[in-house]
Chains A and B, each alone.
Chain A
Amino acid sequence: MEYKTIMCDVLVVGAGGAGCRAAIEAAKHNLDVIMISKELLGKAHTAMAEGGYNVSLGNVDPDDNPETHFKDTIVGGNYLNNQHLAEILVRDAPQRIFDLEDMGAVFDRTPEGKIAQRPFGKQSWRRTAYASDRTGSEIMVTLTEAIRKTSVRVFDEVFATKLLVTDGKIAGICAVDLKYGDYLIFRAKSVVMATGGAGRIYKVTSNAQLDVGDGYGMAYEAGCEMIDMEMVQFHPTGMVKPESAKGRLVTEAVRGEGGILLNSEGERFMKRYYPDVMELAGRDQVARSIMTEVLEGRGSPDGGAYLSIAHLPKRIVEFRLESMIEQFEDAGVDIREEPMQVSPTAHHFMGGLKIDENASTNIPGLFASGECTGGVHGGNRLGGNALADTQVFGALSGETAAKYAKENRHLGIDRDAAIKEFERLEAMLQRKDGVSPADARDELTALMWSKVQIFRKEEDMAEAVKELRRIEKEVVPQIKVDVPVKRFNPGWHQAMEFVHMVTTARMVAEAALMRKGNRGAHYRVDADPDETGYYNIVIRKGKDGEMELTKEDLVITKITPP
């Protein structure tokens, strides 16, 4: 089996908001940094983030401060957050947004010329900094510009498939060059995982096609501990139609700017659920409210609720929600005049690689940041906290990975394991009979959407777990690629992704089944009312190769759960 080995000091896997920020930070330490990316530079899902970046600058509401941001984050996270991490988030968010401005970001301004801030759900003050409703794009463009200034070597369209561990420490990764199909090993002194989320394990999702959970799958297989995997955020407002746009994000900024939710009877139904905060209740709360309306027969014709911004001055809508206008224009709806139809869509993974205050995982030399990590957001992430997360923990992981690289040498590589991995990938191409990745994917995403969804129940989840175990045993080894060509072959790419999707889905389902009460995004119709649920579920691969789940105590620094 032929492969090439590429050397570097720090390897960053993923090139979204966190990955780019980590690479930029690591490169400041006179190290050779490589950032690999499944997609082209600048195309990561971060560019799809719309609403904003939470930071307690107090530019609009001067009474805001990091303490309040912390409190909102913990309460919003249903107290499951790792409070060390949340403290770091609120502490560093201001400096990280200033970094972005130093790099060239252009956020919208207050009349005094400071960064403007808008209200978002479950926040005490107007805290969310923004660039119209394409804030993620603004940040991604800025980071792309900044990466091009650094010495970071970007290997785009390179897909990491396996972490290589030597004596329990990170040594490198196995990867495939998607353009030409070559097998690659990257050897590094330290590795930062910044691989994003896995919305794509659900049939309806706001996520880009690349968000299939590669990082979760790889890290789990390598022995990394995962936390809060049952906590999947369903964004309350995704597009309903046309079919091909189903699930596409309708930014929370629509509600932040004053948008209201209506049912088929024209009633502003949030007043029956959360009268104090109405549309700006937590994302989990709004999502459940919309679904309840739909299930009780008060939904819109296409199975959602109405979201209207038509009462606002057109000028405001045009300036602050320009992407939304464009997005709905494509669907034949003028949001300045008529309501949008929306319903929940799989959006964000609160759970992921378990990290400590140094963004370090339990595998020495392996660091992580951004959506692929767990702990920062607890049971429910506040809108606007994800972009802040990418920058705060991106920079932190870059710095700590650099320090680690300075103090450690390249480890030897387990070549047998690498060759075995490449043979596994090669086998997909050679297999004559088997299951196509498209069919396998459709089965998996439908299963997750129907059984491990917003309203969960024991028998559904048990069935999902059973099915996923079967898929893992029976379907995964049978995945085959129709056309045995290695040069840019999407069929092969999907086949390689599928195993990661299954592992990720299994972690979500197994953890969800274990949690008997309601907490955060995890909501059961058959919840045990006596369970407060003040624990985190940690998943690791056991010695026997089986998935091990354990309940661990919350990490509390300041706020004790009620």
Chain B
Amino acid sequence: MTKTIKTRVQRYNPDLDDEPYFQDFDVEYEPGMTVLDALLYIQDKFDSSLAFRWECRGGQCGSCAVRVNGTARIACRTKVEPDEVLILEPLEKLPIIKDLVNDISQVTFRIRRIRPYVARDKLPEQYPEIMHSDSIEKLREIRKCIECSACLSNCPIVAETWDYPGPMIIRQLARLELDPRDVEDRIAMAMNESVYSCTTCKMCTDICPKSIDIPALAVELLRAKAVEAGYPLASGQQGFIDQIKATGRAVPEKKTPLLKEIETEEFLVDNPRGRVAFFTGCLIDYRMQNTGKALIDVLNRNGIDVIVPKEQWCCASPAFRTGDLHTAQDAARRVTEIFEKISEKYDLDTVVVACAGCGKTLREDHRPFIEEQRGEPPMFKVYDMAEYMLDVIGKENIVKPKGEIKMKITYHEPCHLGRGQGVIDQPIELLKMIPGVEYVEDPYKNRCCGAGGGVRAGQRELSQKIATTKKGYIEDTGADMITTECPFCTIQISDILKGTEIKTRYIPDLLAESYRLGDEKE
């Protein structure tokens, strides 16, 4: 028997239809089948007028970007899941010509606006022109772009405003900035094209058929060059940097910080199954002391020794994100030194983080920088808390939380946890272990909340717009509570949910609460 897949395709001919509608087709499944194969099957067997673009079928031309189950992908390199309904829609943000074919004239216009070619004021003195491999290495990577426009579709910034030209075009600016032959002031252009609007959510990287890390290789690169060129940061962003430089914390002290409150740095258990150091990050130390304590409690209950160094330093994520490389790199050195010393002192090799932003920064920014500087990376491994529990302690070994929390709970996947560290299912697994919790999946759970990348600090209005869109998705789930694993997301989401019944919680808090309730029961 041949297997068929239910395929729902958005149809729309603005000449004839008042609005788009979905049409269902049964597509015969073949192993290895791509979304493009499914579309061609429909076109050949059912309706030759079904409009979509394609050319090369090899991921090289970038014609066939469509939304596959909500996320933009190039059809020829996206495999069909045999057991799922396949929903195909045109890209977001761009007007529809027909069915899955978007009008890309806005994109073309926006590309031309940045003078997207190598501008020279003189030709080379000799041919062949001498260029060394190292001068084109980074350039080579971001030049793989095939202009499929997919990244524009799910970009949370572009969704709110065309003031930002989107990942693909910002990437082109970085490509030109990196080209030793180009003479235009691409930094001024990047400022003019709102390079500080990006939240570095990495959706574009996830979508990119060439996996180009646009936030790091383009956005942050252009920002660092802007800072170097003397462009001031927004005052909100500069405030963080000044705080870090003065105190090692990105925010000012209010009530007693966690690291001052705790009397010892050693939280040891009998017969430990493991030992970790806890990197608190600024917000858990200064603003969410209870979350910090909850995390220590949860790990201790699961037989893990927790070492909390009393002297810690900011990971400097705000500096990495906004381009103050001096502050950023200084912090990377300090953090590495502190935790290498602790590792040695306590004979451990694992650092646990409960903040998505810190974890991403330690892994994606500190690690390669330190390795580049001294030839070897930091001597400790970094784990997110949920990842550590599921992947290291192991689901079967986790002490079951017994206190019932009877609620409909959804989850917001912090960008820097999901796409930044590849931690996607573990936090949800933890949630599901709590008795009474009814987990409701938000199809947009990995949509950026608008806080990151210096956007909340620097462009509050834009940040609020992104958050308001997010709020709509959260409300659509019908959940009583949204949980997450990043202090920054927690602040942003609880702000935007003010005035609603929906509560915002940090996962370790919720877990600790269930343990406590369980204790009381017994």
Chain A residues within 8 Å of B, Cβ to Cβ: 39-45, 47-48, 57, 59, 94-95, 98, 101-104, 106, 108-109, 111-115, 131-132, 134, 136-138, 141, 144-146, 148-149, 179-180, 208-210, 241-245, 248-249, 323, 326-327, 330-332, 436-438, 481-483, 485, 487-492, 494
Contact A145/B63 with A487-B98, A489-B51 known, Cβ cut-off 8 Å: no
Q: B144 touching A134 by the CB < 8 A rule? A: yes
- Per the bound structure, the CA–CA distance linking A437 and B47 in Å amounts to 12
The 6 closest A-B pairs by CB, nearest first: A491-B48, A104-B118, A242-B32, A483-B49, A113-B130, A145-B117
A residues in contact with B104, CB < 8 Å: 40
Contact A323/B60 with A138-B143, A487-B13 known, Cβ cut-off 8 Å: yes
Contact A115/B128 with A104-B179, A145-B116, A145-B118 known, Cβ cut-off 8 Å: yes
Please give the number of chain B residues whose Cβ is less than 8 angstroms from any Cβ of chain A in the complex: 66
Q: B124 touching A244 by the CB < 8 A rule? A: no
Q: What's the least CB distance linking A93 to chain B, in Å?
A: 13
Q: A494 touching B123 by the CB < 8 A rule? A: no
B residues in contact with A45, CB < 8 Å: 55-56
Q: A109 touching B48 by the CB < 8 A rule? A: no
Query: Is B408 an interface residue when CB atoms closer than 8 A count as contact?
Result: no
* Interface bits B2-28 vs A (CB < 8 Å: 1, else 0): 000000000001111000000000000
Contact A208/B56 with A482-B48, A490-B50 known, Cβ cut-off 8 Å: yes
Q: A209 touching B131 by the CB < 8 A rule? A: no
Query: Is B120 an interface residue when CB atoms closer than 8 A count as contact?
Result: yes
* Interface bits B112-147 vs A (CB < 8 Å: 1, else 0): 100111101001100111111100100110011111
Q: B55 touching A106 by the CB < 8 A rule? A: no
Q: A245 touching B57 by the CB < 8 A rule? A: yes
Q: Which of B61-89 contact A (CB under 8 A)?
A: 61-63, 77, 79
- Per the bound structure, the CA–CA distance linking A25 and B147 in Å amounts to 24
Q: A47 touching B60 by the CB < 8 A rule? A: yes
Query: Is B273 an interface residue when CB atoms closer than 8 A count as contact?
Result: no
Q: Which of B504-522 contact A (CB under 8 A)?
A: none
Contact A491/B117 with A43-B55, A208-B56 known, Cβ cut-off 8 Å: no
- Per the bound structure, the CA–CA distance linking A245 and B57 in Å amounts to 8
Q: What's the least CB distance linking B70 to chain A, in Å?
A: 22
Contact A209/B57 with A244-B36, A489-B49, A490-B43 known, Cβ cut-off 8 Å: yes
Query: Is B310 an interface residue when CB atoms closer than 8 A count as contact?
Result: no
A residues in contact with B145, CB < 8 Å: 141
Chain B residues within 8 Å of A, Cβ to Cβ: 13-16, 30-34, 36-37, 43-44, 47-63, 77, 79, 97-99, 101, 103-104, 108, 111-112, 115-118, 120, 123-124, 127-133, 136, 139-140, 143-147, 179, 181-182
- Per the bound structure, the CA–CA distance linking A447 and B101 in Å amounts to 32
Contact A98/B128 with A482-B47, A487-B98 known, Cβ cut-off 8 Å: yes
**22 contacting pairs across A/B (C-beta < 8 A):** A42-B62, A42-B146, A43-B56, A47-B60, A47-B146, A48-B61, A104-B117, A104-B179, A106-B179, A109-B136, A113-B133, A136-B60, A145-B116, A145-B117, A149-B117, A179-B101, A208-B61, A243-B32, A481-B49, A488-B98, A489-B51, A490-B50
Q: A48 touching B58 by the CB < 8 A rule? A: yes
Q: A47 touching B56 by the CB < 8 A rule? A: yes
Contact A482/B49 with A42-B147, A98-B128 known, Cβ cut-off 8 Å: yes
Q: B129 touching A101 by the CB < 8 A rule? A: yes
- Per the bound structure, the CA–CA distance linking A146 and B119 in Å amounts to 10
Q: A102 touching B31 by the CB < 8 A rule? A: no
- Per the bound structure, the CA–CA distance linking A98 and B44 in Å amounts to 45
- Per the bound structure, the CA–CA distance linking A270 and B116 in Å amounts to 47
- Per the bound structure, the CA–CA distance linking A145 and B61 in Å amounts to 15
Contact A148/B136 with A104-B179, A483-B48, A488-B51 known, Cβ cut-off 8 Å: no
Q: What's the least CB distance linking A145 to chain B, in Å?
A: 4
Interface residue from B112, B120, B124 paired with A148 (Cβ < 8 Å): B112
Determine the residue in chain B with the shortest Cβ distance to A94.
Answer: B127
Determine the residue in chain A with the shortest Cβ distance to B41.
Answer: A244
Determine the residue in chain A with the shortest Cβ distance to B98.
Answer: A488
A residues in contact with B99, CB < 8 Å: 488
Q: B77 touching A330 by the CB < 8 A rule? A: yes
- Per the bound structure, the CA–CA distance linking A489 and B53 in Å amounts to 11
A residues in contact with B182, CB < 8 Å: 104
Q: A137 touching B48 by the CB < 8 A rule? A: no
A residues in contact with B97, CB < 8 Å: 179-180, 487-488
Q: Beyond the given A132-B140, A489-B98, could you list 15 further A-B residue pairs with CB under 8 A, ordered by the A residue number?
A: A43-B61, A47-B61, A48-B60, A101-B129, A103-B118, A109-B133, A112-B130, A134-B144, A137-B60, A148-B117, A208-B55, A482-B49, A489-B48, A490-B49, A490-B51
Q: What's the least CB distance linking A446 to chain B, in Å?
A: 14
Interface residue from B112, B128, B146 paired with A59 (Cβ < 8 Å): B128
